[in-house]
Amino acid sequence: MKKIKFFLIGLVPGLIIVFFVLNKKGVSCSGYLPNSRVIAETLSKDFTYSDDFKAEMVHLKLNEKFLKDSIITSGKIDFDRSHAQKKPCPDYVLTYPEKNPVYEITFEKCDEKAVLNSLKKLK
């Protein structure tokens, strides 16, 4: 019992200190999840749009800034419908927003570029 008491006396203040130090630096663990990693890698690549994708962007009156800053950045990858292990370019299905999706994008993430193939408005 004495060992547990000493353990907790050290653990609790240590966790509090680590929490405040990391929180001050703006560190988060969200970048390690598969969804965040795929989105971060995709945003770091050059975007290429298919003709269908461009036409649908014009039809839905979406611009590239909204596409990158909102839809892709805040979207959710549907790994059940994606082919993440496909070679040489895995393809993904992204929905936005996470709850009650309105847009669905299918894209391929190659080594040099991200090819956006289709854009659908779901509702």
Is the CB of residue 84 less than 8 Å from the CB of residue 21? no
Burial class (CB in 10 A: 0-12, 13-18, 19+), 59: exposed
- DSSP for 77-107? E-TTT-BTT-SSS-EEEEEESSSS--EEEEE
Cα 89 to Cα 18: distance, rounded to the nearest angstrom: 40
Residue 28 has pLDDT above 70, yes or no: no
Higher pLDDT, 59 or 99: 59
pLDDT tens for 66-104 read 999 999 999 999 999 999 999 999 999 999 988 888 999
- Percentage of residues in the chain with pLDDT exceeding 90? 65
